[in-house]
């Protein structure tokens, strides 16, 4: 039995090596991970990227498209039989249909393969025929990514850190009162444990609604098929020493360890550790609207996200022997269409400042990083109006809540990125203006054109341009 298992393992390993050799030489595969925190626009980004790679009329910034070397792009069957397929068809129909609307948000891991038939470039281009490059796009919630930081923490350390961090937050008041009244040395009572877990989940949901970014465990917000299971029935508790067996503390500790081993580690092994390129989407405008505290939270979370990656160069032997590393990481501030284009350089500069510490560590490890501002689907048009003798650069779009068209002047982003970390700032908007949410605009696409966007082609060039 043991010999048979070993033989099977060797055969599988040989098959993997053979697939790697074949893929690297003939039909290379690039695995692109797409993540971001809530409302960052992951689903829209992937949908628009696929649509604009299939119909490349709006992709001049992608060198292979500009040079006409991409002969065809087509969707392939899902490569991983156990991973849900990204529902591209329904998502693109939602964005481009007669009554356009935003598709449903990411709630679990999904994947899609897009194959590109590409002619080579360079001096030998005339001697070589076209080749096929497979792009596997992996969509996963940013909340799950933050869970990777739990792997290095004990239950006691996680509880202490969590309780200290949420103590000043009004959203946590009810949970903190409940947790503080518990005697965790008493025997486990399942209704009490469930009440604690539900109260902690309610805090996480309220914190997400308030724009908080540091929300772990992520599966509490997106439980999927684990809803109601013991592995999601735990919560942080005040430190205890000498808690006996079968006590509430010991059971919470056990469930925390099971969460790491049965939920977090499989996600890392089966999905995250196989990624070549990564884009992290950030709703930076939303954080700016909510003020300096939200910006600080976002900065901290982005550092934690990057800390979860294995950045570095994917040399052939390192891929063969040690697994993949993340070669390129793109940090993208989304919803750039909510600002006039004259403000986009400032938004990009703010994004670069926000992730500077994190990107320096990635570059030191050998990864290539970049930051930019983009809109995967442009939902607004620009216009300039004169008010009290002053020109105002505005955007016009269809409001999400009412469906009415409205012109929006968001104010001026700070000229200096250092203003992000000025504790005295209350926000960058003028008092008379509020953040607005826009619905997708009705589209009339000409043949060969994908949905309108802002700098999606530049993002694609950075992420996959070198492989085309």
Please state, rounded to an integer, the average pLDDT across all residues of the chain. Answer: 84
Domain identity same for 295 and 360: yes
Query: 44 and 130 share a domain?
Result: yes
Radius of gyration of the chain measured on its C-alpha atoms: 24
Q: Are 35 and 280 in contact (CB under 8 A)?
A: yes
pLDDT in tens, 411-439: 788 777 776 666 555 544 444 445 678 99
Please report the pLDDT score of residue 419 as a whole number.
66
Q: 110 and 178, same structural domain?
A: no
pLDDT of residue 120: 86
Highest mean pLDDT among 52-61, 262-271, 296-305, 406-415: 52-61
9 pLDDT more than 70: no
Same domain assignment for residues 404 and 331: no
The number of distinct structural domains making up the chain is 3
pLDDT value at position 22? 46
Answer yes or no: do 283 and 362 share one domain.
yes
DSSP class per residue in 196-258? HHHHHHHHHHHHHHTT-----SGGGTS-GGGTT-GGG--------SSPPTTBHHHHHHHHHHH
263 or 318: which carries more pLDDT confidence?
A: 263
Does 157 share its domain with 210?
yes
pLDDT tens-digit readout, 42-54: 999 999 999 999 9
Mean pLDDT lowest for which of 24-33, 39-48, 120-129, 287-296? 120-129
d(Cα 451, Cα 94) in Å, to the nearest integer?
Answer: 12
Residue 375's φ and ψ, nearest 5 degrees, are -135, 110
Q: Is 154 helix (H, G, I), strand (E, B) or coil?
A: coil
Asked whether residue 80 falls in the same domain as residue 54, the answer is yes
Residues 394, 289, 341, CA angle at the centre, nearest 5°?
30
Q: What pLDDT is stored for residue 96 in this prediction?
A: 92
In the chain, the N- to C-terminal Cα span, in Å, equals 46
Verify that 51 and 97 share a domain, yes or no. Answer: yes
Residues 118 and 187 in one domain: no
Average pLDDT over residues 72-96: 92
Q: Which residues 6+ apart lie within 8 Å of 84 measured at CB? A: 108, 109, 110, 111
Q: Residue 326: which region, alpha, beta or left (left: phi > 0; alpha: psi -120 to 50)?
A: beta
DSSP state of 411: -
CA dihedral 145, 146, 148, 154 (to 10 degrees): -160
Residue 232 has pLDDT above 60, yes or no: yes
Share of the chain above pLDDT 90, in %: 47
Q: Which of 86, 87, 174, 188 is nearest to 138 (CA)?
A: 86
Q: Which whole number is the average pLDDT over 211-216?
A: 83
Least confident of 199-203, 243-247, 266-270, 320-324: 320-324
Angle 356-108-87 from CA coordinates, rounded to 5°: 105
User: pLDDT band at residue 101, thresholds of 50, 70 and 90?
Assistant: very high
Q: Are 281 and 354 in contact (CB under 8 A)?
A: no
Element (H, E) at 163: helix 155-166
Give the C-alpha separation, 370 to 463, whole Å. Answer: 10
| Domain annotation covers residue 221 | yes
Three-state SS across 35-100?
EECCCCCHHHHHHHHHHHHHCCCCCCCCHHHHCCCEEEEEEECCCCCCCCECCHHHHHHHHHCCCC
Given the DSSP bridges, would you call strands 131-139 and 110-118 parallel, antiparallel or unpaired?
antiparallel
Q: Could you tell me if 259 and 150 lie in one domain?
A: yes
Q: Tens digits of per-residue pLDDT, 245-258? A: 889 999 999 999 99
- Of 239, 268, 297, the last residue of a domain is 268
**Has residue 5 got a pLDDT over 80?**
no
- The pLDDT assigned to 425 comes to 54
Burial of 174 per CB tally in 10 Å (0-12, 13-18, 19+) = middle
Q: Is residue 15 part of a domain?
A: no
Residue 219 near residue 147 (C-beta atoms within 8 A): yes
439 backbone dihedrals φ, ψ, rounded to 5°: -90, 160
pLDDT band of residue 291 (cuts 50, 70, 90) is confident
Helix (H, G, I), strand (E, B) or coil at 406: strand
The percent of residues above 70 in pLDDT, for the chain, comes to 86
Residues 420 and 371 grouped into a single domain: no
Task: Give the domain CATH number at 330.
Answer: 3.40.50
Indicate the residue among 236, 268, 300 that finishes a domain: 268
Beta strands in 80-170 (DSSP E): 110-118, 131-139
* 426, 291 Cβ separation under 8 angstroms: yes
| Lowest-confidence segment of 19-28, 34-43, 425-434 by average pLDDT | 425-434
Q: Are residues 297 and 150 in the same domain?
A: no
Give residue 193's domain range: 146-268
pLDDT in tens, 161-180: 999 999 999 999 999 999 99
Among the listed ranges 50-54, 118-122, 452-456, which one has the minimum average pLDDT value? Answer: 118-122
CA 414 to chain centre: 26
Can you tell me the distance from the alpha carbon of 368 to that of 77, in angstroms, rounded to the nearest whole number? 30
pLDDT number for residue 124: 61
Has residue 11 been placed in a domain?
no
Strands 390-399 and 380-387: what pairing? antiparallel
- Please say which residue of 224, 240, 268 terminates a domain: 268
The full DSSP string for 281-343 is EE-HHHHHHH-HHHHHHHHHHHHHHHHHS-BS---HHHHHHH---B-EEEEEE--GGGS-GGG
pLDDT digits (tens, 9 = 90+) for 298-353: 888 887 777 666 554 443 333 333 446 788 989 999 999 999 999 999 999 999 98
């Amino acid at each position: 039995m043991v010999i048979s298992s070993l033989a099977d393992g060797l055969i599988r390993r040989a098959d993997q090596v053979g697939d790697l050799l074949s893929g690297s030489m003939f039909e290379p595969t690039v695995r692109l991970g797409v993540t971001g925190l809530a409302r960052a626009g992951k689903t829209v980004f992937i949908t628009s990227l696929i649509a604009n790679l299939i119909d490349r009329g709006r992709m001049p910034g992608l060198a292979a498209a500009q040079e006409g070397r991409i002969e065809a792009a087509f969707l392939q069957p899902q490569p991983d039989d156990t991973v849900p397929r990204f529902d591209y068809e329904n998502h693109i129909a939602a964005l481009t249909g007669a009554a356009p609307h935003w598709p449903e948000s990411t709630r679990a891991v999904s994947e899609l393969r897009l194959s590109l038939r590409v002619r080579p470039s360079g001096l030998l281009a005339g001697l070589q025929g076209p080749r096929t490059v497979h792009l596997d796009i992996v969509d996963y919630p940013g909340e799950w990514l933050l869970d990777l930081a739990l792997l290095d923490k004990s239950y006691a350390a996680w509880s202490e850190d969590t309780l200290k961090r949420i103590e000043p937050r009004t959203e946590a008041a009810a949970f903190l009162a409940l947790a503080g009244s518990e005697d965790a040395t008493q025997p486990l009572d399942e209704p009490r444990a469930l009440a604690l877990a539900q109260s902690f989940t309610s805090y996480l949901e309220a914190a997400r609604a308030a724009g908080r970014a540091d929300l772990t465990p992520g599966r509490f917000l997106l439980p999927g098929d684990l809803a109601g299971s013991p592995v999601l029935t735990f919560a942080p508790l005040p430190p205890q020493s000498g808690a006996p067996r079968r006590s509430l503390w010991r059971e919470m500790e056990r469930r925390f360890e099971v969460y790491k081993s049965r939920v977090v580690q499989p996600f890392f092994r089966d999905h995250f550790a196989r990624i070549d390129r990564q884009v992290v989407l950030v709703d930076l405008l939303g954080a700016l609207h909510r003020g300096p505290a939200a910006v600080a939270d976002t900065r901290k979370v982005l550092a934690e996200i990057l800390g979860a990656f294995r950045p570095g160069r994917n040399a052939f032997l390192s891929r063969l022997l040690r697994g993949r590393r993340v070669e390129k990481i793109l940090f993208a501030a989304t919803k750039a269409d909510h600002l006039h284009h004259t403000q986009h350089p400032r938004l990009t500069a703010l994004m670069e400042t926000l992730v500077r510490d994190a990107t320096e560590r990635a570059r030191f490890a050998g990864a290539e990083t970049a930051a930019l501002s983009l809109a995967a689907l442009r939902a607004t048009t620009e216009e300039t109006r004169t008010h009290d003798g002053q020109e105002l650069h505005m955007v016009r779009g269809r409001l999400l809540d009412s469906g009415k068209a409205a012109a929006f002047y968001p104010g001026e982003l700070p000229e200096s990125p250092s203003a992000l970390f000025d504790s005295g700032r209350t926000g960058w908007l003028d008092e008379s203006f509020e953040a607005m949410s826009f619905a997708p605009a009705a589209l009339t696409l000409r043949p060969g054109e994908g949905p309108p966007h802002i700098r999606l082609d530049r993002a694609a060039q950075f992420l996959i341009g070198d492989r085309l």
